[in-house]
Amino acid sequence: MSLAVAKKLASKLSSLPSDDLRDLVFSFLQSVIIEDDSIQVMIRMDDLRKLLENDGQVVCSELVVTRRRVDESGLICLTIEATRKRYGGEIHLIVPPSSSVPLRHPRPALIKAVARGHAWYEKVLAGKVVDTKSLARETGLTPRYVRNVLGCAFLAPDIVEAILEGRQPLALKFEHLYKHMPLSWSEQRQQFGFPQDPRAR
């Protein structure tokens, strides 16, 4: 019975709202220990069993602010191979890829540039601004920055989708997007390190 509930619960984890997912994990997670070459996830066996016996439903009254002390014999330790690497001044945990858990590394600067680029391009198309200088005055930003960001409106749709979902190459930075950006989507994928899309034009 518990195994069936566990499989059912695992299948819907990715679709749970963030608050529900947080409460679910909080209900049985003891601690997370990050080592140089691994991540250790400590799970309280009794609380996990209660969760499964309750058909995967979290009982709010059982959520506590502080972690209670649990003997080591009452813990399950899951060890995940991982390495720490520095990209663009940030430290990332690199976990070997699996078919069920895609790696995501959202970069706020890239996401903001893509969102602004499309929003500003829509303004240009709608005739709300006539050129980059007027757009720069309206936003309080420099004309050079505005020109650079506007280039993001011409990225291939699959590249935009990958950036918004945090699936872009780890080394990709905002400055890579506007320096000598090709208009060809196929050339963009090649230059920025994205896989070629069979629908590429």
pTM, rounded to two decimals: 0.50
pLDDT in tens, 17-30: 887 888 888 888 88
Quote the crossing angle between the two packed helices 185-192 and 157-164, to the nearest 10°.
Answer: 40
What's the rounded Cα separation, in Å, for the pair 69 and 21?
23
Domain assignment present for residue 143? The answer is: yes
Domain assignment present for residue 44? The answer is: yes
Distance of CA 134 to the CA centre of its chain: 34
Of 55, 72, 94, the last residue of a domain is 94
DSSP letters, 37-67, are: SEEEEEEEHHHHHHHHHTTT---GGG--SSP
What's the rounded Cα separation, in Å, for the pair 46 and 137?
61
With CA atoms as reference, report the closest residue to 116 among 160, 75, 72, 64: 160
pLDDT in tens, 108-148: 889 999 999 999 999 989 888 888 899 999 989 999 999 99
- Residues 55-81 as b/e (b if ≥16 CB within 10 A, e otherwise) read eeebeeeeeeeeeeebeeeeeeeeeee
Both tokens assigned to 80:
């995940």
pLDDT of residue 65: 45
Could you tell me if 77 and 112 lie in one domain?
A: no
Could you tell me if 73 and 127 lie in one domain?
A: no
Domain assignment present for residue 180? The answer is: yes
Both tokens assigned to 112:
């903001």
Both tokens assigned to 190:
């090649």
Angle (CA) 92-95-99 rounded to 5° is 135
Question: Quick count: other Cβ atoms within 10 Å of Cβ 120?
Answer: 21
Averaged pLDDT of the chain: 80
The boundaries of the domain holding residue 184 are 108-192
Q: What is the mean pLDDT of residues 4-9?
A: 73
Could you tell me if 83 and 154 lie in one domain?
A: no
Of 94, 118, 142, the last residue of a domain is 94
